[in-house]
Chains A and B, each alone.
Chain A
Amino acid sequence: MLNVLIWFPCIAAVIVALLPQAIAAHRVRFISLCLSAVTLLWTLWLVSQFDLSNPTFQFRESLPWLPYLGLNYELGVDGLSLPLLGLNSLLTWIAIYSSRVDTERSRLFYSLILLISGGVAGAFLAQNLLLFFLFYEVELIPFYLLISVWGGTQQGSAATKFLLYTATSGGLILAGFLGIIWFSDTTSFTYEALLGQTLPLNIQYVLLILLLLGFGIKTPLVPLHTWLPETYVAASTPVAILLGGVLAKLGTYGIFRFCMVLFPEAWAQVSPGLATWAVVSVLYGALAAIAQKDIKRMVAYSSVGHMGYVLLAAAARTELSFVGAISQMFAHGLILALLFHLVGLIEAKAGTRDLEVLNGLMNPIRGLPLVSALLVLGGMASAGIPGLVGFIAEFLVFQGSYATFPIQTLISVVGTGLTAVYFVILLNRTCFGKLDNDLAYFPKVNWSERIPALILVTLIVVLGLQPAWLVRWSEPTTSALMAAAQELTPMPRLFTAKVLSHQSPPLLSVLEDSPST
């Protein structure tokens, strides 16, 4: 069943690539849209079949591939990867929808996007370290091409930078994985077989740091983020959606799946440092965003900040923070996709992304009123305004992390305040104020162009009001992982035990309770 998620997009990519030359770009787009819709529907069906009472991997597939290398084709899904799989399928569809109708070399463009979709799904599903690495690396070339061929300004250098950074990331991760195998004297890269490994602590440190750096580049965490602004800005809207919405999640997913779970003792030791690192990322991302003059760059930097919350939650390693982190990954994917889509629309209609030039887009007659309104909503969601999914995710993260790292959490809360600052700057300059009628001859936004944004907004609002629909998928897995972690790790701090004992009431009741729970 899981095979479909990987191989159907790959087959679809081949089909799209082999479409006759005579077919117009908008038809190629439509065909790709239909094909990715099949994947999306399949994902939804899988979600409906997902057993909520089972915290372990489900729908497992196993096939020996190169057993002497320890590389087997092993797939499975649990509460950590399921939301991300859904996000991947949804954002692929959204990305294809938000691509230009007249995309040049459309067959290549859409087949690359479909290929990425399959590759990312594979990475989320892989239960074998080497298999994960293969899927993790397979995205690089399509992304490189998507950025360098269809990108905007300075796409060449941005794409090269992206390739260099992420290839380095891949190298570090491979080194980490190989290290685990070598030092633990196993021959199999199978994930579950490695769960119980007992490596000496100093080796754990080295390997953990290798992996953290590798995933930190992908996430990205400050100061490994320097590829991000240029890449996001150079990438076209659909590619930016995939980069920010999906690819960045591979980094955080790796941190949870491998760094945190495989090295519990070392993790407990480095976690205070990680929490501080997270805070640096949060503050740096927010402050850098405040200084931007280009709205797409601003959104790109907001991503740096928001990924910091995920690291904070990972460092805190409580059940609540874990659920919060998964929610944050999902919420951030939705919000970032929405923001990139809207920024792309504004750029397409107004011809600029310059904060100094844009003004008064809220104007109902000649502006982009609905786009502006949705941008306001996206900004609110990103800043964590209650009632929207961003609030739920950030609240869970802070609530889960406060007991373990109170100071870092409080500073991160300040970071959300700074998020509000740059979104107010962005919205105030672009949406409000007076539209200048010397400049405002923008084309109309069609309803069809608004559909992706409306879908995302609906999800953002519905999941913001009914967060249980989001957190229920990951709850069993997080509980089980935390219980396992508890057994494995001598509690580094006394109050961690206290926190965990606080977690005993069901999560959903925490959500409904006051913050003083």
Chain B
Amino acid sequence: MTTTLHPTPTQLPPSQHEFAEVIHRLEAGGAMLPNTPDNLKQIIGLYKAYAVPMDFYWRDLLYIAEQVFLDPLPLFKYFLPQAYLDLHNHYAGDDADLRVWRGEATAHPELLAFMEKGEIKRKLPKLLHHLWHDRINMEFAEECMRAMLWHRNMGGQFDPYLDTDEYIANADRAIKAYFRGNPVMLGLYKLFPEMFIEQVRQLSYYSNLGLFWEVMAPVFFEMSDLYDEGKLTTVPEAMNFLVNGIFAIAGRPIYHHVYIRGECYEIIPKSKGFMWLYEAALPYVEAVFYRTSPFRGTKSYNAQAKQVPDRQEDFHYGILYADVFPVGSAGIPPTLLMQDMLHFLPPYLVEYYQQYCRGEDDMLVQLGISFQRSMYCVTSAVIQALRQALLYPLDDPNPEHLQANRAFFESQLDRFKRPEARLRAIQNQEYR
């Protein structure tokens, strides 16, 4: 986790791309986000504020995938049992597989404090907190999962596996075990087997996303701690931490286990060898950062006038493109996530936001835009990681290799030429 990229000045002629400035920055080992102290403060503060609810998200996603499973009335799926709060994160704590964060492996203390009393700072029955929406909004996590499920076919082995006979046989076993002694549900399964299998596919994506975020939460916690200790001082350093993290964890297995009456059913066994980077991280970035689905709020689309693309791969409604004004949506723009993050902002960011725009009143928007900046940093890390995995080092002496790198960067940035992309906006510090 200690290697850093050593950029050298580019030897190629200047790029003619619309985002030439950004491309040159990427070639010099930087991020799409300009390297300013302001940006660093915003993205690190947001990583911290994101990681706390994320600590809940991954635990609950796994709880739903593993325990709630096909419950036809999953009314209490957001009520996380103690066992899952105590579940040890594989990348934090003393018994970690790889200790990314130096903190504890169980649920984050700020999360537990919030779950106890909520925003109103009063201990009420859990159900009241839940109904009052004074809680962690799992709807955001589910919406991200649904974006991954809905888009599917984004590369990798995991997704095609969900259509194999082997997967269907595994799912079938679990379904029959889960509904044993329940003739109604078993009868329905007989009538509509595809529907049940599709539900299990969705649950496999629950597991996929839960395992993905299990990694990201400690990475973000560690970045926040390093920043607080003065060890992360620039945006490229933050990005490189992410790049190194991605490579260190790339191989973690992605699987789907279900626990029915104490017995483990391996719907997607670890032995399939699905890897975190290719089966979870990249599809997640593609689905949530780039694609998601048209904004379902006060804006209406005319599909006949091609305002919604014909092909799903042309969808660009993700966080990198979103207008983050809160509209109450679970998905993108991530209003519910922004509400969650508001509870865990580090004090320096609260103070920072109070100086701009409407201060306290529009903090939700300001943090949403910071979130967008931070996700541009994560996307930069992914682009750099892909470049590192598939192409050449940035300081490669061979100009042809550098040219190949540039072509790669340019093709990546082509996706931000669309008018709604916020890459232009985040170059400006006044975009808040």
Q: Determine whether the beta carbon of B323 is less than 8 Å from that of A436.
A: yes
How distant is B335 from chain A, measured CB to nearest CB, in Å? 10
Residues in B with CB closer than 8 Å to A438 are 425, 431
For B369, give the chain A residue with the smallest CB separation.
A437
Q: Determine whether the beta carbon of A437 is less than 8 Å from that of B361.
A: no
Residues in B with CB closer than 8 Å to A440 are 325
**A437–B367 Cα gap in the complex (Å)?**
13
Q: How many residues of B contact A (CB 8 A)?
A: 18
Asked whether A366 is an interface residue with its Cβ less than 8 Å from the other chain, the reply is yes
Q: Determine whether the beta carbon of A360 is less than 8 Å from that of B362.
A: no
Within B284-339, the residues touching A (CB, 8 Å) are: 297-299, 323-327
The answer to whether A434 and B361 touch (CB under 8 A), given A363-B325, A365-B326, A366-B325, is no
B binding-site residues for A, Cβ under 8 Å: 297-299, 323-327, 357-358, 361-362, 364-365, 369, 425, 431-432
Q: Determine whether the beta carbon of A441 is less than 8 Å from that of B357.
A: yes
**A363–B431 Cα gap in the complex (Å)?**
18
Residues in A with CB closer than 8 Å to B364 are 365
For A443, give the chain B residue with the smallest CB separation.
B358
Can you report 28 A-B residue pairs in the complex whose CB atoms are below 8 A from each other? A360-B298, A360-B325, A363-B325, A365-B361, A365-B362, A365-B364, A365-B365, A366-B325, A366-B358, A366-B362, A366-B365, A432-B298, A433-B298, A433-B299, A434-B297, A434-B299, A434-B327, A436-B323, A437-B323, A437-B324, A437-B325, A437-B365, A437-B369, A440-B325, A441-B357, A441-B432, A444-B358, A444-B361
Within A350-367, the residues touching B (CB, 8 Å) are: 360, 363, 365-366
Asked whether A435 is an interface residue with its Cβ less than 8 Å from the other chain, the reply is yes
**A424–B25 Cα gap in the complex (Å)?**
49
How distant is B199 from chain A, measured CB to nearest CB, in Å? 34
How distant is B339 from chain A, measured CB to nearest CB, in Å? 12
The answer to whether A366 and B323 touch (CB under 8 A), given A433-B299, A434-B298, A438-B425, is no
Q: Hey, what's the 0/1 contact readout for A423-435 against B, CB within 8 Å counting as 1? A: 0000000001111
Q: Determine whether the beta carbon of A365 is less than 8 Å from that of B299.
A: no
**A357–B326 Cα gap in the complex (Å)?**
20
Residues in B with CB closer than 8 Å to A437 are 323-325, 365, 369
**A436–B432 Cα gap in the complex (Å)?**
12
How distant is A354 from chain B, measured CB to nearest CB, in Å? 20
**A434–B300 Cα gap in the complex (Å)?**
10
Given contacts A434-B323, A437-B324, 16 further A-B contacts (CB under 8 A): A363-B325, A365-B361, A365-B362, A366-B325, A366-B357, A366-B365, A432-B298, A433-B298, A434-B297, A434-B299, A437-B323, A437-B325, A438-B431, A440-B325, A441-B357, A444-B358
For A432, give the chain B residue with the smallest CB separation.
B298
Contact of A365 among B297, B298, B325, B431 (CB under 8 A): B325
How distant is A159 from chain B, measured CB to nearest CB, in Å? 37
How distant is A439 from chain B, measured CB to nearest CB, in Å? 11
Q: How many residues of A contact B (CB 8 A)?
A: 14
Residues in A with CB closer than 8 Å to B298 are 360, 432-434
**A240–B369 Cα gap in the complex (Å)?**
39
Residues in B with CB closer than 8 Å to A432 are 298
Q: How many A-B residue pairs have CB under 8 A?
A: 38
**A366–B432 Cα gap in the complex (Å)?**
11
A-B complex: 9 closest residue pairs judged by Cβ atoms: A365-B362, A434-B299, A434-B298, A366-B362, A437-B325, A437-B323, A444-B358, A365-B365, A366-B365
Residues in B with CB closer than 8 Å to A441 are 357, 432
Most buried by A among B327, B365, B431, B432: B365
Residues in A with CB closer than 8 Å to B326 are 365
Residues in B with CB closer than 8 Å to A436 are 323
**A400–B358 Cα gap in the complex (Å)?**
51
Most buried by A among B323, B357, B358, B362: B362
Within A437-462, the residues touching B (CB, 8 Å) are: 437-438, 440-441, 444
**A438–B324 Cα gap in the complex (Å)?**
11
The answer to whether A434 and B325 touch (CB under 8 A), given A360-B298, A365-B364, is yes
Within A227-246, the residues touching B (CB, 8 Å) are: none
Within A322-372, the residues touching B (CB, 8 Å) are: 360, 363, 365-366
Residues in A with CB closer than 8 Å to B431 are 438
Residues in A with CB closer than 8 Å to B325 are 360, 363, 365-366, 434-435, 437, 440
How distant is A447 from chain B, measured CB to nearest CB, in Å? 13
How distant is B122 from chain A, measured CB to nearest CB, in Å? 25
How distant is A364 from chain B, measured CB to nearest CB, in Å? 8
For B297, give the chain A residue with the smallest CB separation.
A434
Residues in B with CB closer than 8 Å to A435 are 325
For B326, give the chain A residue with the smallest CB separation.
A365
Residues in A with CB closer than 8 Å to B358 are 365-366, 444
Most buried by A among B323, B324, B326: B323
**A435–B326 Cα gap in the complex (Å)?**
10
How distant is B180 from chain A, measured CB to nearest CB, in Å? 50
**A435–B298 Cα gap in the complex (Å)?**
10
**A435–B297 Cα gap in the complex (Å)?**
12
**A363–B365 Cα gap in the complex (Å)?**
11
**A432–B362 Cα gap in the complex (Å)?**
19
**A435–B364 Cα gap in the complex (Å)?**
15
**A287–B358 Cα gap in the complex (Å)?**
39
**A436–B322 Cα gap in the complex (Å)?**
11
For A433, give the chain B residue with the smallest CB separation.
B298
How distant is B379 from chain A, measured CB to nearest CB, in Å? 20
For A360, give the chain B residue with the smallest CB separation.
B298
Within A364-384, the residues touching B (CB, 8 Å) are: 365-366
**A412–B361 Cα gap in the complex (Å)?**
45
**A470–B27 Cα gap in the complex (Å)?**
74
**A165–B220 Cα gap in the complex (Å)?**
71
Most buried by B among A365, A432, A436, A440: A365
How distant is B220 from chain A, measured CB to nearest CB, in Å? 25
Within A459-485, the residues touching B (CB, 8 Å) are: none
For B298, give the chain A residue with the smallest CB separation.
A434
For B324, give the chain A residue with the smallest CB separation.
A437
**A365–B369 Cα gap in the complex (Å)?**
14
How distant is A490 from chain B, measured CB to nearest CB, in Å? 61
Residues in B with CB closer than 8 Å to A366 are 325, 357-358, 362, 365
For A444, give the chain B residue with the smallest CB separation.
B358
**A517–B263 Cα gap in the complex (Å)?**
81
How distant is B368 from chain A, measured CB to nearest CB, in Å? 9
How distant is A3 from chain B, measured CB to nearest CB, in Å? 49
Most buried by A among B297, B357, B425, B432: B357
How distant is B77 from chain A, measured CB to nearest CB, in Å? 30
**A41–B127 Cα gap in the complex (Å)?**
55
Within A64-79, the residues touching B (CB, 8 Å) are: none
**A432–B327 Cα gap in the complex (Å)?**
12
For B362, give the chain A residue with the smallest CB separation.
A365
Residues in A with CB closer than 8 Å to B297 are 434
How distant is A394 from chain B, measured CB to nearest CB, in Å? 31
**A360–B297 Cα gap in the complex (Å)?**
12
Residues in A with CB closer than 8 Å to B425 are 438
**A346–B200 Cα gap in the complex (Å)?**
52
Residues in A with CB closer than 8 Å to B369 are 437
How distant is B365 from chain A, measured CB to nearest CB, in Å? 5
**A432–B299 Cα gap in the complex (Å)?**
10
**A433–B431 Cα gap in the complex (Å)?**
21
For B299, give the chain A residue with the smallest CB separation.
A434
**A51–B431 Cα gap in the complex (Å)?**
63
